[in-house]
Amino acid sequence: MAASIPDGAMVAVPPDNSIPSVALAKALIRRRARGLRLVGVPISGFATDILIGAGCVAEVNTSAVTLGEAGFAPRFSAALKAGTLVVRDATCPAMHTMLQAAEKGVPFMPLRGLIGSDILANRPDWMVIESPFGPLIGGSREKITLLPALHPDVAVFHAVMADSAGNVWVGRRRECATIAHASQRSLVTVERVVEGNFLEDERLCPGAINATYISGIAIAERGAQPSALLDEYGFDTDYVMAYARAAKTEAGFAEWCAEHVFDNQAVAAE
Amino acid sequence: MSYKTEELLAVCIARLIRARPTRHIAVGAASPVPAAAAWLCVKQGDPLHLSLLHKRSGNPFTDGSRELFDLTGQGRIDLFFLGGGQIDGQANINLIGTGAWPGLEVRFPGSFGSAFMYYMSGRTILFREEHSPRVLVDRVAHISAPGTSEPGVFRRGHAQALVTGRCVFDFHPDLGRFSLASYHAGESVESIRAMTGFEFDVPEGVGETPAPSDAELALLRGAVCDEMLETYPDFCARVFERKAAA
């Protein structure tokens, strides 16, 4: 699957609380992907930091990069300082809004807030207009920001399961559906494949993403780890803390990578 | 009863929550102290609705992580919490970093939802435990979200207060300035001034922050901690000295 993501692709990735495919991120490192433009939906976590550390990433469009309780993302900070990474800073609802515009097939959507923030000052692709529909604020029309639709090439995430029809099930993590709808292709790793069709099950269908949006499925057991997977397994804080310590230096990251990325291969995600 | 700083801060924030009518509070990811404060209000019987963004089991949002922003946009969130790598005297917050954009000297994680939530929540309580001239600055290096907005911009709310490890400041959006509300035990107006990089007003009669009561501490260490163990295991272990059952 990683082999089908070309260098330079725009890849949308959910954060640690929203079932990223760490298995596929590791496979991208093994295939030595280069120049990826990551989209954090709406922020970025562990998977993004290891991809940056391995030199796979040219640009990240996100509202934050963080390892949660394990602190700042060390390879992200180092790459910014070294000038090898471009970060396009946003705010969470702006990421959602740009993807929702793509979902709807419209060129832009408006978002409140933002005005007076240096985020806006550094986003030449965003535009402030006077709302043609009002309301009037202090006698003049409201100023509001328009955000262009964002169309990732590939959405990459993990799911609990896939069914015989190729639907995948993500439970309440509906932002995975948003990025699947907004992206050209979606590649999904799953814990397991089950018989049947989620869309015919009234209880499962609200958490399902229709196979229409899914381009590839691979089994990768515990494929979100160390991130959490719904009620199946939790965030592995100790693992991420150990990573954060190791990845403080480039040499430490390389050692960590040799042990945790190149030695334990989940073959299906390659 | 002796108490930890985090417990005092949670009680301070709980009092600020109660100071104004509040129905619905949202609490972000890295906010164990504000979460403890909100839970304390709930456990004391306040009829509050709490939405904890990072709650794994029973997470309140069923329409994806955009739902928080959608309902805040509608005005359905009365109170949110924000911190900052830097906070200045006009209540601007910086979650980007220092040095040239985008934080080439020290990079902070990023702005999260601040550039929307700060405007659209009914009000915001700013919280930063470290109270030093490097955090509380005269002017932030970069503005993730501004403390006040220019005319013509829709803005529902502002900072209510800034709670730190040394004191509580009230914010006055009409003046664009903080005033000292109380200082914690061991501090004084002079010590607060010495550790604060921005100017602030000192109303007459400012005194020490009241200590947490035994009842508040018992609730924090019991019923509040019970609710927080899953989401904030490290915080609960450090502050309440309790671990989740394996």
Whether A37 shows a pLDDT value over 80: the answer reads yes
| pLDDT the model gives residue B231 | 82
Q: Rounded mean pLDDT of A133-147?
A: 91
Picking from B56, B90, B116 by the largest number of A CB atoms within 10 A of its own CB, the best residue to mutate is B116
Check: CB of residue A161 under 8 Å from CB of residue A168.
yes
Cβ distance A91 to B113 less than 8 Å, yes or no, reads yes
Tokens of A62: 């996100």
Whether A265 shows a pLDDT value over 70: the answer reads no
pLDDT bin (cut points 50, 70, 90) of residue B245 is low
Other CB atoms within a 10 A radius of the CB of residue A153 amount to: 17
| pLDDT the model gives residue A36 | 98
pLDDT bin (cut points 50, 70, 90) of residue A267 is low
Alpha helices in chain B (DSSP H): 5-18, 32-43, 66-73, 114-120, 189-195, 214-219, 225-228, 233-235
The top-level CATH class assigned to A2-90+151-269 is alpha beta
What residues 203-232 of chain B have any CB closer than 8 A to a CB of chain A? 232
pLDDT bin (cut points 50, 70, 90) of residue B1 is confident
Check: CB of residue B142 under 8 Å from CB of residue B94.
yes
CA distance, residue A177 to nearest chain B CA (Å): 8
User: In chain A, what residues touch B113 (CB-CB under 8 Å)?
Assistant: 42, 63, 91-93
Contacts for A66 with CB less than 8 Å, ≥ 6 apart: A43, A44, A45, A72, A73, B29, B30, B109, B110
Cβ distance B62 to A172 less than 8 Å, yes or no, reads yes
Check: CB of residue A64 under 8 Å from CB of residue B109.
yes
| pLDDT the model gives residue A239 | 95
Domain extents in chain B: 1-77+211-241, 83-113+130-154+168-210
pLDDT bin (cut points 50, 70, 90) of residue B60 is confident
Count of CB pairs separated by less than 8 Å, A with B:
157
Q: Rounded mean pLDDT of B104-111?
A: 95
Please name the residue that has the structure tokens 């269908």.
A205
Cβ distance A80 to B103 less than 8 Å, yes or no, reads yes
Lowest mean pLDDT across A76-80, A214-218, A262-266, B114-118? A262-266
Contacts for B225 with CB less than 8 Å, ≥ 6 apart: B236, B240, B242
Cβ distance B154 to A77 less than 8 Å, yes or no, reads no
pLDDT digits (tens, 9 = 90+) for B28-39: 866 899 999 999
CA distance, residue B148 to nearest chain A CA (Å): 9
Q: Compare CB distances from B116 to A114, A144, A237 and report the shortest one's residue.
A: A114
Pairing of strands A136-137, A127-130: unpaired
Q: Compare CB distances from B143 to A41, A118, A143 and report the shortest one's residue.
A: A118
Q: Rounded mean pLDDT of A184-202?
A: 98
Q: Measured between CB atoms, does B154 come within 8 Å of chain A?
A: yes
ipTM of the complex: 0.94
Contacts for B239 with CB less than 8 Å, ≥ 6 apart: B4, B6, B7, B32
Q: Measured between CB atoms, does B103 come within 8 Å of chain A?
A: yes
Residue of A nearest to B150 (CA): A116
Please state, for a pLDDT cut of 90, what percent of chain A lies above it. Answer: 90
Cβ distance B115 to A94 less than 8 Å, yes or no, reads yes
Whether B234 shows a pLDDT value over 90: the answer reads no
Check: CB of residue A187 under 8 Å from CB of residue A163.
no
The Cα B178–Cα B175 span in angstroms is 8
pLDDT bin (cut points 50, 70, 90) of residue A53 is very high
> Over chain B, what is the mean pLDDT?
94
Cβ distance B115 to A119 less than 8 Å, yes or no, reads yes
The Cα B111–Cα B197 span in angstroms is 22
Cβ distance B57 to A17 less than 8 Å, yes or no, reads no
Q: Please, where in chain A does CATH 3.40.1080.10 lie? A: 2-90+151-269
**What is the C-alpha end-to-end distance of chain B, expressed in Å?**
30
Q: What backbone phi and psi angles, to 5 degrees, belong to B91? A: 65, 20
Q: Rounded mean pLDDT of B94-100?
A: 97
pLDDT digits (tens, 9 = 90+) for A148-166: 999 999 999 999 999 999 9
User: In chain A, what residues touch B65 (CB-CB under 8 Å)?
Assistant: 18, 41-42, 92, 96, 175
Cβ distance A174 to B57 less than 8 Å, yes or no, reads no
pLDDT digits (tens, 9 = 90+) for B153-181: 999 999 999 999 999 999 999 999 999 99
| pLDDT the model gives residue A270 | 63
Q: Measured between CB atoms, does B142 come within 8 Å of chain A?
A: yes
Contacts for A50 with CB less than 8 Å, ≥ 6 apart: A22, A25, A26, A29, A75, A243, A257, A261
**Domain B83-113+130-154+168-210 superfamily per CATH:** Glutaconate Coenzyme A-transferase (3.40.1080.10)
Q: Measured between CB atoms, does B246 come within 8 Å of chain A?
A: no
Residue of B nearest to A179 (CA): B64
pLDDT bin (cut points 50, 70, 90) of residue B56 is confident
Other CB atoms within a 10 A radius of the CB of residue A206 amount to: 13
Other CB atoms within a 10 A radius of the CB of residue A44 amount to: 32
